[in-house]
């Protein structure tokens, strides 16, 4: 079973939908945590171990790009997996995010099937 | 170079295609109509807009509708059954409408970026109230009818004002 999953999106409805899609894939996690922007997410990472972080890109205050830049990949504080969900990420942006340490970039609208194939690729589910 | 396409008819075609690619597949009924209409300015309506900007030019695209229509479309899009019973609390429905315009405009953004446009996509502007177009702005609106639900898709070259919350 995976540890904590942190869902980052300024829209409460989107966070609900992402959680619903994630649980529909069969992924089992200790706890689902939420953050409304990158700043809240980075605060959570300082105090809580997170195995999987799922974030939107287009958010007010600290957006998804700044969140990715703020994660110290390779350190114990960093999530094991970071999945970016975005309506805008082009192939070039996706490649740039992955070069920074992001595990996968998924295009909106997401579905349980699109997340399932990502999680299978990351060996999070069989 | 500014923002392309230059005419609103071109934007209408692109927006309809983005709606077809993103919103329609999630609806219970996937047959829809897309007819030119006027902008309805009604204090009861809900709307969400985002701006696509490039080199000092900006196009705003948004959806507007009656709360019951918006609730139905948002419920279908995100698969939640509890939104249509929210009474007069429109916060979650508006949240959903904002997410839908974000997704649709994101598809527009990807399509235009692949054509070489360098566009910025704004955070959604949410409106519970009248939409006021200042006289000089160019705009076009289409009534998107999906099943029993009507949502107006609006494209504006210029500014939007929130008249009343």
CATH of B8-162 given 3.40.1550.10, 3.30.2130.10, 3.30.980.10, 3.10.20.30: 3.40.1550.10
**Which residues of B touch chain A, with CB atoms under 8 Å apart?**
22, 26, 74, 77-80, 92, 95-96, 98-99, 102-103, 105-107, 109-110, 113-114, 121, 123
State the Cα–Cα distance between residues B72 and B23, nearest whole angstrom: 13
State the Cα–Cα distance between residues A59 and A68, nearest whole angstrom: 13
Tens-place pLDDT, residues B53-85: 987 788 999 999 999 999 999 999 988 877 777
Task: Please check whether residue A90 touches B, CB under 8 A.
Answer: yes
ipTM, 2 dp: 0.81
Give the mean model confidence (pLDDT) for residues A3-30: 94
- The answer to whether the CB atoms of B80 and A13 lie below 8 A apart is yes
Contacts of A106 in chain B (CB under 8 A): none
Tens-place pLDDT, residues B96-111: 999 999 999 999 998 8
Which residues of chain A from 25 to 44 reach within 8 Å of chain B, CB to CB? Answer: none
B33 in Cβ contact with B118 (< 8 Å): no
- Which pLDDT belongs to residue B165? 44
What are the sequence ranges of the domains in chain B? Answer: 8-162
Residue A113 lies in a domain: yes
Question: Is A125 in a helix, a strand, or coil?
Answer: coil
Residues 6+ apart with CB under 8 A from A26: A116, A125
Q: What is the mean pLDDT of chain B?
A: 88
Question: pLDDT band at residue B159, thresholds of 50, 70 and 90?
Answer: low
Query: Of B106, B75, B79, B109, which is closest to residue B92 (Cα–Cα)?
Result: B75
CA atoms within 13 A on the CB side of B67: 17
The two structure tokens encoding residue A70: 């703020």
Residue A21 lies in a domain: yes
Helix (H) or strand (E) holding A86: strand A81-86
Provide the domain count of chain A.
Answer: 1
Among residues of chain A, what percentage have pLDDT more than 70?
100
Question: pLDDT band at residue A123, thresholds of 50, 70 and 90?
Answer: very high
B45 in Cβ contact with B164 (< 8 Å): no
- Cα angle B52, B56, B62 (rounded to 5 degrees) comes to 25
State the Cα–Cα distance between residues A119 and A57, nearest whole angstrom: 19
Residue B31 φ/ψ region, left for φ over 0, alpha for ψ in the -120 to 50 degree band, beta for the rest: beta
- Which pLDDT belongs to residue B164? 47
Tens-place pLDDT, residues B14-68: 999 999 999 999 999 999 999 999 998 889 999 999 999 987 788 999 999 999 9
Cα nearest neighbour of B25 on chain A: A109
Question: Is B3 in a helix, a strand, or coil?
Answer: coil
Residues 6+ apart with CB under 8 A from B107: A87, B18, B21, B22
- Domain that residue A114 falls in: 2-121
Query: CATH no. for residue A71?
Result: 3.40.50.2300
Tens-place pLDDT, residues A80-113: 999 999 988 888 889 999 999 999 999 998 888 9
């Amino acid at each position: 079973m995976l540890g904590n999953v942190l869902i980052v999106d300024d829209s409460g409805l989107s966070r609900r939908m992402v959680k619903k899609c994630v649980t529909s894939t069969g992924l089992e996690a200790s706890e689902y945590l939420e953050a409304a922007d990158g700043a809240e997410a980075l605060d959570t990472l300082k105090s809580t171990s997170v195995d999987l972080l799922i974030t939107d890109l287009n958010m007010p205050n600290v957006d998804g790009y700044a969140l990715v830049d703020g994660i110290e990949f390779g350190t114990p504080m960093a999530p094991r997996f970071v999945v970016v969900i975005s309506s805008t990420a082009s192939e070039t942006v996706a490649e740039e995010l992955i070069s920074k340490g992001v595990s996968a970039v998924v295009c909106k609208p997401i579905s349980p099937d699109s997340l399932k194939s990502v999680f299978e690729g990351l060996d999070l589910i069989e | 170079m500014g923002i392309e396409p230059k005419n609103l008819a071109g934007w209408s075609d692109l927006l309809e295609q983005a709606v077809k690619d993103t919103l329609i597949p999630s609806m219970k009924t996937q047959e829809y109509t897309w007819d030119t209409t006027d902008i309805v300015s009604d204090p009861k309506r809900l709307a969400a807009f985002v701006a696509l900007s490039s080199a000092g030019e900006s196009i705003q695209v948004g959806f507007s509708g009656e709360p019951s229509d918006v609730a139905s479309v948002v419920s279908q899009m995100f698969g939640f059954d509890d939104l249509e019973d929210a009474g007069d609390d429109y916060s979650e429905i508006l949240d959903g409408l904002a997410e839908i315009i974000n997704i649709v405009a994101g598809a527009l953004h990807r399509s235009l970026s692949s054509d070489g446009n360098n566009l910025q996509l704004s955070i959604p502007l949410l409106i519970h109230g009248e939409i006021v177009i200042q006289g000089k702005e160019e705009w076009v609106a289409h009534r998107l009818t999906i099943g029993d639900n009507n949502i107006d898709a609006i494209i504006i070259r210029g500014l939007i004002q929130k008249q009343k919350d």
